[in-house]
Amino acid sequence: MIRRLGTTDAVLIVMGGILGSGIFLNPALVVGYLHAPALATIAWIAGGIIALLGAALFAELAARRPENGGFYAYLRDAFHPSIAFIYGWTLLLVAQSGGMAAGAVTFAIYVVPALHLPIGTGVLGAIIIAAFTLVNCFGVRQGAFTQHLFMLLNVAMILVVAVCAVLAHGHVATTAAPTLAPLTNGQLLAASGLALVAVLFAYDGWHTSSFINAELKDPARTLPRAITLGVVLVVGLYLLANWAFLHGLGAAALAHSQTPASDLAALALGPLGAGIVTALVAIATMSTLSQQILVSPRVYYQMAEDRTFFRFLGYVHPRTHVPIFAILAQGVTAATVALSGSYNQILNYVESVDFVFFGLAAIALFIFRKRDGDRPVSFRVPLHPWSTGLFLVIAWGIVADVALGSPRDTVVGLGIMLLGLPVYWVFASGRRKGAA
């Protein structure tokens, strides 16, 4: 593979990995759980702080280990190749495929009713995943250009939503929705965990930019800068979007909305404007999907290079310089997830697995700091070890909270993750026999 991507590409890829379906659906989930706009805003601020802690952590990991594979390589070098394999395995079967499926299903949720399409949301989601998979098979520059285009449209749509909120505020329709009853202390505690999961799903994705180290110019400097700047910009945009939905629709109407952006546009611009905004928002939700198809196959490529996964996934096309079989494997798996699960199920699968490995990333930084000693690096986590330790506690606390709130989904996600261990030993045994 060729180092074709610079700092601007990396910043846009970081932002594209986060911006997407979550911000156009999850504000309704969050206020629906918490029943109060102030609490919903606090949840989005808390999620932004957690995202910034994670961004700082991954920025230093990228500075210390700019090798191919990113997060996969951090886990391999800090712990054992088996841990890295389990991460790549769950990335393919749950985490990235689930995130891609969620983005595609969000697109379908907006488009199917608007156009009265005679197909299910899962089917349309699978078709969209297939289209983006094909684009990325033509090369990293083509895939990056497509991702940048959708990411910038995503930013534009958040700004449009904010303008609609100003125009719609005070409209009589905001009082028509049922009111939200206050929660008891026990209900609020349980609801806070569910709301935070929804928020963090929307913020998730800052770490995926590390997968493209092999195609970044000077990754030890480029990636830390991109991660920190990209996450800061996204936090600002998300807080703006949450304010817009609450301000324009009101908490009760937002909580009962299936398509908040469309409903807000209908209040501000009328039916025609709502139709246009619905179409553009649906297209904008493709940003994360495009980014994930761009970056995640690079992990399976590295696993194949390490000879711990199917060797054909390491094949790089001589003309396009991309791992086309790894890209196709990711697309097929994500399309299958889109056809098999609902949005909420996908969300729980992804978060229960992702934050297990985020906690391991925090431990990896402690290990690398001890191994590296005083070796200079281009970025260091502020307030380490306290900030890193806090992120570790939060990450595994979220796993526990999802397990309590959605035990079945958590068992499925973690079960698929643990299934990767015997699969790893099969590949490792084959590698040892080949070496002998």
Q: What gap in Å lies between CA 375 and CA 57, rounded to an integer?
A: 17
Let me know if residue 423 belongs to a domain. yes
Let me know if residue 2 belongs to a domain. no
Contacting residues for 272 by C-beta, under 8 A, at least 6 apart:
none
Let me know if residue 401 belongs to a domain. yes
Least confident of 150-164, 305-319, 359-373: 305-319
Cα separations (Å) of 216 from 68, 140, 212, 219, 230? 10, 11, 6, 5, 16
Contacting residues for 349 by C-beta, under 8 A, at least 6 apart:
94, 98, 341, 409, 412, 413
End-to-end Cα spacing for the chain: 30
pLDDT for 257 equals 84
Closest CA to 418 of 71, 81, 86: 86
Residue with token string 């952006």: 261
pLDDT for 292 equals 74
pLDDT for 141 equals 59
Closest CA to 51 of 10, 17, 3: 17
Let me know if residue 50 belongs to a domain. yes
Joined together, the tokens standing for residue 104 give 């595609």
pLDDT for 370 equals 93
Q: Which domain covers residue 323, as residue numbers?
A: 7-435
Say whether pLDDT at 349 is over 50.
yes
Closest CA to 292 of 5, 14, 4: 14
Q: What gap in Å lies between CA 242 and CA 218, rounded to an integer?
A: 36
Q: Do residues 73 and 65 make contact, with C-beta atoms less than 8 angstroms apart? A: yes
pLDDT for 172 equals 44
Let me know if residue 222 belongs to a domain. yes
Amino acid at residue number 65: R
| Mean pLDDT, range 218-224, rounded to an integer | 78
Q: Do residues 149 and 283 make contact, with C-beta atoms less than 8 angstroms apart? A: no
When pLDDT is cut at 50, 70 and 90, the band that residue 175 belongs to is: very low
Structurally, the chain folds into a number of domains equal to 1
Closest CA to 382 of 55, 145, 24, 19: 55
Output the domain CATH number for residue 241. 1.20.1740.10
When pLDDT is cut at 50, 70 and 90, the band that residue 366 belongs to is: very high
Q: Summarize pLDDT for 234-288 with one digit per residue, the tens.
A: 999 999 999 999 988 888 888 888 888 888 888 888 887 777 777 777 777 676 6
Position with higher pLDDT, 16 vs 356: 356
Say whether pLDDT at 430 is over 50.
yes
Let me know if residue 315 belongs to a domain. yes
Q: What's the pTM value of the predicted model, to 2 decimals? A: 0.79
Let me know if residue 107 belongs to a domain. yes
Let me know if residue 1 belongs to a domain. no
Q: Do residues 34 and 183 make contact, with C-beta atoms less than 8 angstroms apart? A: yes
